[in-house]
Amino acid sequence: MSDHVVPVRVYLIIFFTLMVLTALTVRVAFTDLGPMNNVIMLGIAITKATLVVLYFMHVRYSDRLTWILVSTGFVFVVLMVLITMSDPLSRGWLGTPGS
Amino acid sequence: MSERVGTVAHAHAHHFDDAEQQHSASTLGMWLFVVQEILFFGGLFTVYTVYRSAYAEPFAHASHHLDVTLGMINTAVLIASSLTMALAVHAAQVGRRAGQVGYLLLTILLGSVFLVIKTIEYGHKFHEGFFPGPNFRYPGDEAKAAEIFFSLYFAMTGLHALHMVIGIAILAVLVVMALRGRFGASYYTPVEVTGLYWHFVDIVWIFLFPLLYLIGRH
């Protein structure tokens, strides 16, 4: 359980990592990498969110029930976006009937 | 069973085996709420994805009207507030009352700085005519799509800011509780679950910053 006392040193390391990743994402935004821009920026955001969840929110030190609950939340957001996007992204595939 | 915490004795409710189980149930319950919040904001991120895929170019151009410097400063301020929040939980766990009060106040201060900067940004956008509605003004021929971008900008950052206002109010209550010596090594649940909420709000911003401020900058 989260009775585990996380050392202050760990919090500071996570804090500095988050700051460096923020600077990195801004640096990437102003560099033209084509479609990779979105991929890298989203990757950095997911990395930052994961660090916050695991260390600041103590999930790394929590029981398995918490792990399942937290993953479920994020998995369902991904499902919501993917299933919704399957419609607009596939609309042009079959053409418009009658034209 | 009851345990001494600071100057206050703390007992667990009768339907729990012990204080440890009660603490587990509280954090799990808070996580359930946070997961619901993730899905709530997830709905807005879904709308964003649909419209950005439909209007990629206009969204990138509209994003240029946001202030990256202020957005970046606010990201740093919010991450710093997450650190002070985590340190407040730490201070509660080890029973350092001065640390609890100090770090909670620092978290409130950083949260307020974020909101002040956000208010300044909103002021600029209102002044430039970027608030969606009958008075929306936008240069060029992409006004319709840009209005959708700014609708999402105000809806998402506005809801995020509302969460911060609520968070600051809860933190203020925690400061009073900490001053009264309510938290210690065997009871710090309110600080812990407020921390979960505060860090969640930080996570929302971690995604809002690149998705709103940083698209099509190169």
Is B160's pLDDT higher than 60? yes
Is B17's pLDDT higher than 70? yes
Share of chain B above pLDDT 70, in %: 95
Share of chain B above pLDDT 90, in %: 85
Q: Is the ipTM of this complex over 0.95?
A: no
Give pLDDT, residue A83: 96
**Interface mutation vs chain B, best among A36, A56, A72, A89, most B CBs within 10 Å:** A56
B32, B46, B215 member nearest A80 (Cβ) = B46
Is B2's pLDDT higher than 60? no
Is B6's pLDDT higher than 70? no
Q: Give me B154's structure tokens.
A: 């105000």
pLDDT band at B10 (very low <50, low <70, confident <90, very high): low
Give pLDDT, residue B3: 47
Give pLDDT, residue B115: 98
Residues near A45 by beta carbon (within 8 Å), at least 6 away in sequence:
A25, B206, B207, B209, B210, B211
Contacts of B214 in chain A (CB under 8 A): 25-26, 29, 41
CB neighbours of residue A68 within 10 Å? 9
In B, minimum Cα distance to A50 occurs at B203
Partner A contacted by B86 (CB < 8 A): yes
Q: What is the mean pLDDT of residues B68-89?
A: 97
Among A48-52, A71-75, B183-187, which is the least confidently predicted range? B183-187
B43 to A54, B2, B201, B208, B210: CA distances (angstroms)? 24, 44, 15, 13, 18
Contacts of B207 in chain A (CB under 8 A): 45, 49
CB neighbours of residue A97 within 10 Å? 5
State pTM to two decimals.
0.92
**Percent helix, strand, coil in chain B (nearest 5)?**
75, 5, 20
Give pLDDT, residue A10: 96
Contact call for residues B82 and B199 (beta carbons, < 8 A) = yes
Is B38's pLDDT higher than 50? yes
Q: What is the mean pLDDT of residues B185-207?
A: 96
d(C-alpha B95, C-alpha B181), whole Å: 9
pLDDT band at B18 (very low <50, low <70, confident <90, very high): confident
Contact call for residues B92 and B181 (beta carbons, < 8 A) = no
Task: List the end-to-end C-alpha distance of chain B, in Å, as a whole number.
Answer: 63
What ranges do the domains of chain A cover?
8-62
CA distance A98 to chain B (A): 24
Q: What is the mean pLDDT of residues A1-16?
A: 86
Identify which has the larger pLDDT, B183 or A98: B183
pLDDT band at A2 (very low <50, low <70, confident <90, very high): very low
